[in-house]
Amino acid sequence: MKSSIMKTLRKRWSIIFFSILVFESTQQLSAQNVHQTRKPNIIFILADDLGYGNVKSFNPKSLIPTPHIDELARQGTSFTRFYAGNTVCAPSRCALMTGKDMGRAYMRGNTRIPLRPQDSTMAQLLQQNGYATGMFGKWGLGEMGTTGSPEVKGFDTFYGYLNQQKAHHYYVKELFEVEKGVIKPMPVGSTQYSHDLIVQHAIRFIEENKDKPFFLYLPVTIPHAELAVPLEDMKVFQNADGSSKFPPETPYEQGGSTYASQKQPHAAFAAMITKLDSDVGRIVAMVKQLGLDDNTYIFFTSDNGPHEEGGADPVYFNSAGPLRGVKRDLYEGGIRVPLIAWSPKNIPAGKVNDTPWAFWDVLPTFSELTQSKSLPDINGLSYVASLEGKKQVNQHDHFYWQFNEKYLQEALIKGDWKLLRFKRKSQPEVYELYNLKNDIGEKKNLISFHSKIADQLKVIMKQSKTLPEHKEFDWSDIEK
């Protein structure tokens, strides 16, 4: 009798134990399937006026170490022919958000004109696809109460600057915040470094949205433009006696400028790059700590080439690397920017890719990565194949830019050839032609040697632009 009872109990416990194992296995498989089918997270870090040569993995001669950004490159793929939307802030960001190049984009100059209701953004597409969307840093495409304000352009959460001109300064009285669909100004303490607040909000956004797909757009405001950093960051590049580790220093005096004076602009600039590098490392570490690294894409790039404002010295720091030109130029130094793409399970590690693509390609690329709908009538193409280390079959025939500040500049790249056009009012137009494969520094103008190629590119240049939709970008008077 006793033996029979024990057998029955053992049988029942075996059934229970087996059921528990099956249940746990089922739960684990279910969790794995959910994890595998969950849409990927996207983090897009956009530095402000960071030059191609300010990242050491792109320019070994750089004087400023960037260990965290370089490690991101070692674990991901570096794109050496990636182009900004323009050579200044607002139009470059317009191209990024809307997928249109400078021949079609609504914004074609550095303006405070807002995006219109019909100008859809990548944030709106991702938001409609169930993504939590957050932006922290500099917007520049519409201020509070306009049709271009962040909360009406697809961002659930925002903290930072709306006006790009105010984003030149790091100690400000207020920033703006979006919460629950409402935007409002937020007071900032006079001793608080705005960049640090912006990064803190970005990290909090990652933590709060770790269990759902999210899109984090992080357009930080450094290293442009006022050369100012907290004292503890500055000390890293000062000797024991307080002198700069980057002599000779020419103090920058405010004078009639809007930027604060800086006794050691070289040391301050280096400190800003180092702070940016450190914060990239913090974000990558947070993604790994939360176990999100197998389902997250991180992109790091810049909005245009290096600046010369506020005492910045791009020549001293070789900020453009092997490229010619700086911000406000359509030479390569003004528009070619470093791009690093990282996703351990999806993007090859330690690779260098020279496939050319540009800001207007980011929107359709993200659309494919996230299985979101894209937008009609855009210039961009998806470059997912390049990200995955595959052959990029679908590529642009050419790339086009225009910029007007004092005079009109146009640039067209087709293959290895680049045509530049310069037009000042009441003066003849001037063209320059370069072969980027043989002359990355654009040192030898070949216009007199390859007139037929130049003529072909001139035709394409004219065909690449439409009439601007806003009168501020109507530069037809310059053509006279």
How much is the pLDDT for 37?
72
Question: Around 209, how many Cα atoms within 13 Å sit in the side-chain half-sphere?
Answer: 24
In CATH, the number for domain 400-479 is: 3.30.1120.10
Closest CA to 409 of 328, 468, 308, 309: 328
Mean pLDDT of 369-385: 96
Model confidence over 9-50: pLDDT tens digits? Answer: 455 555 444 444 444 444 444 434 444 578 999 999 999 999
What is the pLDDT at residue 282? 98
Report pLDDT for 327: 98
pLDDT digits (tens, 9 = 90+) for 194-222: 999 999 999 999 999 999 999 999 999 99
**CATH number for the segment(s) 40-396:** 3.40.720.10
Q: Is 163 left (phi over 0), alpha (psi -120 to 50) or beta?
A: beta
409: left (phi over 0), alpha (psi -120 to 50) or beta: beta
**pLDDT given at position 12:** 55
Q: How far apart are CA 438 and CA 449, in angstroms?
A: 15
pLDDT at 140: 97
Q: What integer best gives the mean pLDDT of the chain?
A: 93
Amino acid at 208: E
CA 175, 180, 184: angle at the middle one, nearest 5? Answer: 25
Mean of pLDDT values over 214-232: 97
CB 139 within 8 A of CB 162: yes
Predicted confidence band of residue 254 (pLDDT cuts 50, 70, 90): confident
Instruction: Domain ranges for the chain, please list them.
Output: 40-396, 400-479
Residue 300 has pLDDT above 50, yes or no: yes
